[in-house]
Amino acid sequence: MSDFGVFFGRADQLLDTSFAGEPDIRAIDPAAASVSAFDLGLLRGDGVFEATTIVDDVPLAWHLHVRRLLQSAAALDLPTPNVRALDLFVRAAIRRMSPIARAHVKLVITRGVDATLSAVDVPTSPTVFAIIDPGFAPKKPEIEVATLERELLRDSAQRAPWLLLGAKTLSYATNMAARREYERRGAQNGVYVTRDGFVLEGPQSSIVLREGARVVTPHPRIGILHGTTQVELFAWASLNGLEVAYEDVEVERLHAADQVWMMGASFVQSVTAIDGRAIAHDRAATDAINAFMQTERAAIDAWTRAHVPG
Amino acid sequence: MSDFGVFFGRADQLLDTSFAGEPDIRAIDPAAASVSAFDLGLLRGDGVFEATTIVDDVPLAWHLHVRRLLQSAAALDLPTPNVRALDLFVRAAIRRMSPIARAHVKLVITRGVDATLSAVDVPTSPTVFAIIDPGFAPKKPEIEVATLERELLRDSAQRAPWLLLGAKTLSYATNMAARREYERRGAQNGVYVTRDGFVLEGPQSSIVLREGARVVTPHPRIGILHGTTQVELFAWASLNGLEVAYEDVEVERLHAADQVWMMGASFVQSVTAIDGRAIAHDRAATDAINAFMQTERAAIDAWTRAHVPG
């Protein structure tokens, strides 16, 4: 239990873009209750989060996560996070538990307690906290996946922004149900597909294809999270002479690809079969990518800072 | 603050169908933290809920809510709730605050703390609690509504049960975003519609049409919650000689109907305009329905117990 860390921050610092000081951080006993039963993060899944891997006290690709967090907060009409203060907050949490050889960190921002419940004597401003979990299990390098109908169309995200399709919210009940479904089918991950036959993403992962010298991922405009590990994989590909592209990807291309990867938390998995049908895969290449992701952080960070779209 | 009640129950009683005793109930200071930061209800919106109005210590249509709660729990692969024990639990919570002239009660069941986080010394069984809120504002009897694309098709719920379309989960971030969207459009409620032109439901309400002597609501198989107040409205209609029907409803029928109602928590609202276009409405009839809902509880309960499907 003492291996876990739970740290609360203050919304009036972390979600105030004019705040210029050192943000307060408050460590909570991980075994203690720390959130109100009235918190809208709990009652409505109304909030956003980011999670990444910490290696040697460094939260990997943190700038990509913060960038996405800003987009998620905007999609939910939450106050704009203070990037500098959030950065200091997360690094302070890590420092409290240093040295961390390897762990998982999650940053959560909820809308806080329902402001209409003014009779409740608890803050109605957003709730901000970080969890550091040193116990996460290593993922399998090779997986089979199942396709799962997401019942949207290629242009749904553009037509209905209130569906929050590109935002990383706390409302993950369907992602968890999809996970149970692919496990029931004997797979280790799932790939959501649109009704009109396009690839989306996994319930908790991004997907990337290699087709010859091209490395391709579904364009985020189709209504998926812009994967941080996907961007890191693009860095690897680009630094290794491959062409990278965001485009709408027809489901059939998964079966014809030279390699399909699923990924998250700076780790890439090689897909060996889709819906029980074997596909081309190259374990050695995948192992090499994961090694590169670990050892070439400076090169990856430089590339991703230079190439991530606004 | 003392007006609010927060009551926690025990999963080993309330979610154990073999439990035959009196369930424990623990009142929590509403201003205190009561939920773990590791609770999957918070981190993943992974849980279910029900809410209803209490009038004179009676939770209205509670049997309908419990029935839906069982369906929601099954959809999420949660343990099966013990109906008798949950009933006793909620009534015990109400008794602690009795007499309650009028209030709102919400019952929440989350998946509890992530069982993979075994190092955390907190229970990993589901979290069960009830909130009693005496301060809820009366709703307007007449509202304008905006249609909101939900980007599903008529058969989506049947094709993709992992989308949990008929379950009342804690993952309401998109419902809250839809609410902000219809408010931006100057409306007081929204109506989700499918891509192929069928009416679904409001982000937090059911919708019912009157067409002559027929009272019609979208069939729940289209991927909506089976509204408890909708069933109560069907009781009113049936007891007043009208025909009631569940069917797929084309969006155009909203504009041609003799009356459109939206409803929740045993209160019916008269829709006066859809997307800025006035529709037929009858305020006096709606007021009469709401009066009937309040005074004719025995008749409504008898009808709904006899007529609710499976």
- SS3 string of chain B? CCCCEEEEECHHHHCCCCCCCCCCCEEECCCCCCECCCEHHHHHCCEEEEEEEEECCEECCHHHHHHHHHHHHHHCCCCCCCHHHHHHHHHHHHHHHCCCCEEEEEEEEECCECCCCCCCCCCCCCEEEEEEECCCCCCCCEEEEEEEECCCCCCHHHHCHHHCCCCCECCCHHHHHHHHHHHHCCCCEEEEECCCCEECCCCCCEEEEEECCEEEEECHHHCCCCCHHHHHHHHHHHHCCCEEEEECCECHHHHHCCEEEEEECCEEEEEEEECCEECCCCHHHHHHHHHHHHHCHHHHHHHHHHHCCC
Contact A162 B181 (CB under 8 A): yes
A240: Cβ contacts below 8 Å, ≥ 6 apart: none
Last residue of a domain, one of B112, B133, B154: B133
Band of residue A120 on the pLDDT scale cut at 50, 70, 90: low
B147 & B275 share domain: yes
Mean pLDDT in chain B?
95
Contact A47 B173 (CB under 8 A): yes
Band of residue A197 on the pLDDT scale cut at 50, 70, 90: very high
Taking residues B192-216, report their average pLDDT.
Answer: 98
Q: Flag whether residue B19 sits within 8 Å of chain A, measured between CB atoms.
A: no
Distance separating the N- and C-terminal Cα atoms of chain B: 40
Domain containing residue B122: CATH number:
3.30.470.10
| Euclidean distance between CA atoms B41 and A202, whole angstroms | 21
Residue A259 and residue A282 in contact, taking contact as beta carbons nearer than 8 Å: yes
Taking residues B56-70, report their average pLDDT.
Answer: 96
Taking residues A279-301, report their average pLDDT.
Answer: 95
> What residues of B are in contact with residue A151 (Cβ under 8 Å)?
151-153, 156, 159-160, 163
Q: What are the pLDDT digits (tens) for B133-159?
A: 987 677 899 999 999 999 999 999 999
B35 has pLDDT over 90 = yes
B152 & B273 share domain: yes
A153 & A294 share domain: yes
> What residues of B are in contact with residue A166 (Cβ under 8 Å)?
none
Distance from CA of B212 to the nearest CA of A (A): 33
B51 & B198 share domain: no
> What residues of B are in contact with residue A34 (Cβ under 8 Å)?
33, 35-37
Q: What are the pLDDT digits (tens) for B83-119?
A: 999 999 999 999 999 999 999 999 999 999 977 665 5
A10 & A59 share domain: yes
* Matching residue, tokens 């993060």: A41
Contact B119 A1 (CB under 8 A): yes
B125 & B150 share domain: no
Mean pLDDT in chain A?
95
| Euclidean distance between CA atoms A81 and A168, whole angstroms | 14
Domain containing residue B255: CATH number:
3.20.10.10
Taking residues B228-254, report their average pLDDT.
Answer: 97
A179: Cβ contacts below 8 Å, ≥ 6 apart: A190, A203, A204
Q: Flag whether residue B148 sits within 8 Å of chain A, measured between CB atoms.
A: yes
Number of domains in chain B: 2
Contact A34 B30 (CB under 8 A): no
Q: Please give the residue range of the domain that contains residue A148.
A: 142-307
| Euclidean distance between CA atoms A131 and B173, whole angstroms | 21
A101 & A194 share domain: no
Q: What is the pLDDT of residue A1?
A: 42
A292 & A158 share domain: yes
B126 & B231 share domain: no
Chain A contacts in chain B segment 76-95 (CB below 8 A): 76-77
B99 & B227 share domain: no
Q: What is the pLDDT of residue B173?
A: 98
Percent residues over pLDDT 70 in chain A: 95
B125 & B208 share domain: no
Q: What is the pLDDT of residue B162?
A: 98
Percent residues over pLDDT 90 in chain A: 92
Percent residues over pLDDT 90 in chain B: 91
B122 has pLDDT over 80 = no
Last residue of a domain, one of A133, A167, A185: A133
Contact A120 B178 (CB under 8 A): no
Taking residues B13-21, report their average pLDDT.
Answer: 98
In 3D space, the residue among A194, A168, A309 whose CA is nearest the CA of residue A250 turns out to be A194
B47 & B160 share domain: no
Percent residues over pLDDT 70 in chain B: 95
Distance from CA of A276 to the nearest CA of B (A): 19
Best mutation target, B26, B176, B179, B191, to test chain A (most A CBs within 10 A): B176
Rg from Cα positions in chain B: 20
Residue B41 and residue A154 in contact, taking contact as beta carbons nearer than 8 Å: no
A310 has pLDDT over 80 = no
Last residue of a domain, one of B133, B150, B168: B133
Distance from CA of A30 to the nearest CA of B (A): 7
B2 has pLDDT over 60 = no
B206 has pLDDT over 50 = yes
Q: What is the pLDDT of residue B134?
A: 87
Long-range CB contacts (< 8 A, 24+ apart) of B214-217?
B214/B242, B214/B243, B214/B244, B214/B245, B215/B242, B215/B243, B215/B244, B215/B245, B216/B244, B216/B245, B216/B246, B216/B247, B216/B249, B216/B253, B217/B245, B217/B246, B217/B249
* Both tokens assigned to A10: 């203050």
Q: What is the pLDDT of residue A137?
A: 75
Q: Flag whether residue B1 sits within 8 Å of chain A, measured between CB atoms.
A: yes
Taking residues A44-53, report their average pLDDT.
Answer: 97
Q: What is the ipTM of this complex?
A: 0.95
